[in-house]
């Protein structure tokens, strides 16, 4: 949207004085160009300014200033370029140090003798015997492969429950790779890295859940399924019995980190390690930084449409995470509902507009 049209729409909605308006529009245009226009779930022909004008129009009086101040001062939008940078940090800052530590512990070489460790045959073989799994499309394994050229294409698999019929041919490629590298090592994988882009509450990965109202709580989540899949691979001798597992999240909240660290022992996988490239501190929670916006989210929540069996009632986001976060490809449902919960196309709804409409994985129209 060109600046004159942006000015006309927003000025009509906000009723600003010209000097105040000019400053805010300049900031909004800069951020829209730099980041917000790239959001992947805007409708065809819609960019940030169109979405912002429609979003603000649903509020009353001073609520609009509250909402706009939140966008300008507290919104956390993680662009595609920023996520790509986090992916590029995964191998040098997280994968390689984990492997170096394992080799240092097994060989007795000092953890600080990095050059010696990297040159050691055990490190060379362990690196090739690492299996990298993508927990979702957001894992961006294509970018991770390109950012870590020392790893083989045959070490990457888009699966959080790797089946034996896919891992078996990877082991045959592993045998060829070890032979070409002149390494004498078992022909199975010995370290597993599970990577994903985002965790807001951590409950998708691991949680306690009742199967029915009267039943006991049981463990569920991707990590539990991964544990069972890895046990099957070990039985098929495609995985070493000494395999270690590292979960790497590109972005995660402090709440998610604490939740996972507390839950891992309950799943009999306490030795698994969680590493986060970029942690979102608890201080960014909207309930801590902007009580007026948190109250607005609760008041404008479209309960009849947005509450469902998967996320429950979530005016402040799933798990009450109250995050102000938007990812370039989608908005997490852990963020406040005013960012993602668009009900304009729903029957018998309050016709709430979202600033960054979310694509829902689970939807009543896609059973």
pLDDT in tens, 55-86: 998 999 889 989 999 999 999 999 999 999 99
Q: Are 288 and 282 in contact (CB under 8 A)?
A: yes
State the chain's mean pLDDT as an integer.
91
In a domain, 166, yes or no: yes
160 and 218 belong to one structural domain: yes
The whole-angstrom separation of Cα 193 and Cα 129 is 11
Confirm whether pTM is higher than 0.85: yes
**206 and 86 assigned to the same domain:** yes
DSSP bridge pairs for 120: none
Q: Nearest-5° angle of CA 2, CA 53, CA 349?
A: 145
Q: Residue 248: name the closest of 189, 197, 190 by CA.
A: 197
Instruction: State whether 65 and 106 are in the same domain.
Output: no
Rounded distance between C-alpha atoms, residue 247 and residue 147, angstroms:
18
Strand partners, 280: 253
Residues 163 and 65 in one domain: no
Q: What is the mean pLDDT of residues 115-120?
A: 97
The whole-number pLDDT of residue 202 equals 95
Q: Are residues 148 and 264 in the same domain?
A: yes
Q: Are residues 95 and 55 in the same domain?
A: no
Measuring CA to CA, which residue among 197, 173, 196, 175 is closest to residue 185?
A: 175
**pLDDT (mean) for 39-68:** 90
Q: Do 90 and 213 lie in a common domain?
A: yes
Residue 123 lies in a domain: yes
Residue 96 counted as domain residue: yes
Helices 121-128 and 164-180, axial angle in degrees (round to 10): 150
- DSSP character at residue 93: I
- What is residue 367's predicted lDDT score, i.e. its pLDDT? 46
Query: Do 48 and 153 fall within a single domain?
Result: no
In a domain, 342, yes or no: no
Range of the domain at 245: 80-282
Residues 32 and 174 both lie in one domain: no
Q: Are residues 271 and 123 in the same domain?
A: yes
SS3 (DSSP) at 342: coil
């Amino acid at each position: 949207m060109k600046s004159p049209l942006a000015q006309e729409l927003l000025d009509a909605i906000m009723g600003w004085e010209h000097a105040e308006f000019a400053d805010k529009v300049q900031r909004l245009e800069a951020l829209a160009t730099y980041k917000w226009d790239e959001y992947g779930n805007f409708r065809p022909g819609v960019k940030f300014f169109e979405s912002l004008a429609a979003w603000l129009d649903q509020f009353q009086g001073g609520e609009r200033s509250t909402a706009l101040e939140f966008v300008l001062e507290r919104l956390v939008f993680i662009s595609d370029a920023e996520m790509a940078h986090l992916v590029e940090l995964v191998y040098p800052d997280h994968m390689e140090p984990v492997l170096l530590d394992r080799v240092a512990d097994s060989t007795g070489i000092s953890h600080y003798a990095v050059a010696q460790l990297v040159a050691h045959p055990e490190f060379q073989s362990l690196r090739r015997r690492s299996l990298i799994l993508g927990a979702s499309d957001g894992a961006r394994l294509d970018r991770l492969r390109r950012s870590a050229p020392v790893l083989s294409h045959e070490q990457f698999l888009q699966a959080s429950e790797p089946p034996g019929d896919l891992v078996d041919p990877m082991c045959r490629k592993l045998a060829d790779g070890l032979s070409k590298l002149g390494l004498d090592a078992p022909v199975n994988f010995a370290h597993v890295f599970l990577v994903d882009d985002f965790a807001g509450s951590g409950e998708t990965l691991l949680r306690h859940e009742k199967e029915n109202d009267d039943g006991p709580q049981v463990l569920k989540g991707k990590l539990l399924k991964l544990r069972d899949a890895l046990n099957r691979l070990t039985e098929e001798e495609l995985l070493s019995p000494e395999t270690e597992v590292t979960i790497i999240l590109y972005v995660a909240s402090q709440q998610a980190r604490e939740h996972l660290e507390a839950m891992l022992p309950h799943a009999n996988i306490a030795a698994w390690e969680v590493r986060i490239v970029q942690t979102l501190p608890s201080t960014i929670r909207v309930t801590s930084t902007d009580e007026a916006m948190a109250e607005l989210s609760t008041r404008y929540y479209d309960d009849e449409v947005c509450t469902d069996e998967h996320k429950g009632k979530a005016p402040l986001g799933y798990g009450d995470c109250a995050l102000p976060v938007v990812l370039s490809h989608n908005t997490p449902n852990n963020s406040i509902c005013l960012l993602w919960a668009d009900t304009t196309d729903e029957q018998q709804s309050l016709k709430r507009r979202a600033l960054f409409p979310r694509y829902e994985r689970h939807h009543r129209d896609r059973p």
